[in-house]
Amino acid sequence: MSTMADDDLTQEEGKKKGGMLKWIIILVVLIALGVGGYFGYTMFIAAPSEDDAATSEMTDGDQEPLENLEGTLVPLPTFLVNLADPLGRRYLKLGIEVEVRDEEASAALTAKEAKIKDALLLLLSSKTYDGLSSTKAKIELKQEIADRLNQVIGKGGVLRVYITEMVIQ
């Protein structure tokens, strides 16, 4: 009978140890989830602090963030180009207005109109219908136009590009 009692005691101690081990594992998993959740929240969901936002929005040196700058809108002529589709039967009619930083950039747009038309015609005629059909593609096109204009008139002269008319036929 003593052997049976010893076996019962050993099983009870094993159950206690197994039960305690289960709670320790659960506690470690909960702590890991909490730390991971906090890290994910701070890195991906939470808005950046004012210091981080100010440094990431700075363009060059001591200039103001682009979002705070108000510029002058300058309309460009309407562009009508053949798209680079395989059959060559699609056309793009694009009207844009450009927000420039100051009067100097506005004057540069006027003075370098031929270079600007050339750069934008080459850019637009290289696009396809499929390459312009999504909203994401249109946003990328606006950025590409701004980049080309800044290459022609000088870095940072163009703040934003607005598409005022877009017809693909």
Query: Residue 125 has which token pair?
Result: 């005629």
What are phi and psi for residue 53, nearest 5 degrees? -65, -40
Query: Angle 77-78-83 (CA atoms, 0-180°, nearest 5)?
Result: 135
The one-character DSSP state at 43 is I
Series of mean pLDDT values for 10-residue runs along the chain (169 residues): 54 67 92 86 66 47 55 90 84 93 89 92 91 90 92 87 92
Please measure the distance between the N-terminal and C-terminal CA atoms of the chain and give it in whole angstroms. Answer: 96
Question: If you count them, how many residues does the chain have?
Answer: 169
What is the pTM (predicted TM-score) of this model? 0.59
Q: How many CA atoms lie within 13 A of 160 on its CB side?
A: 14
Residue 77: per-residue pLDDT: 92
Angstrom distance (rounded) from CA 73 to CA 100: 6
**DSSP β-bridge partners for residue 100:** 72, 158
What DSSP designation does 69 have? -
Q: What is the DSSP letter of 89?
A: -
Question: Contact at 8 Å (CB) between 124 and 92?
Answer: yes
pLDDT at 54: 45
Phi, psi for 41 (deg, rounded to 5)? -65, -50
| pLDDT score at 53 | 47
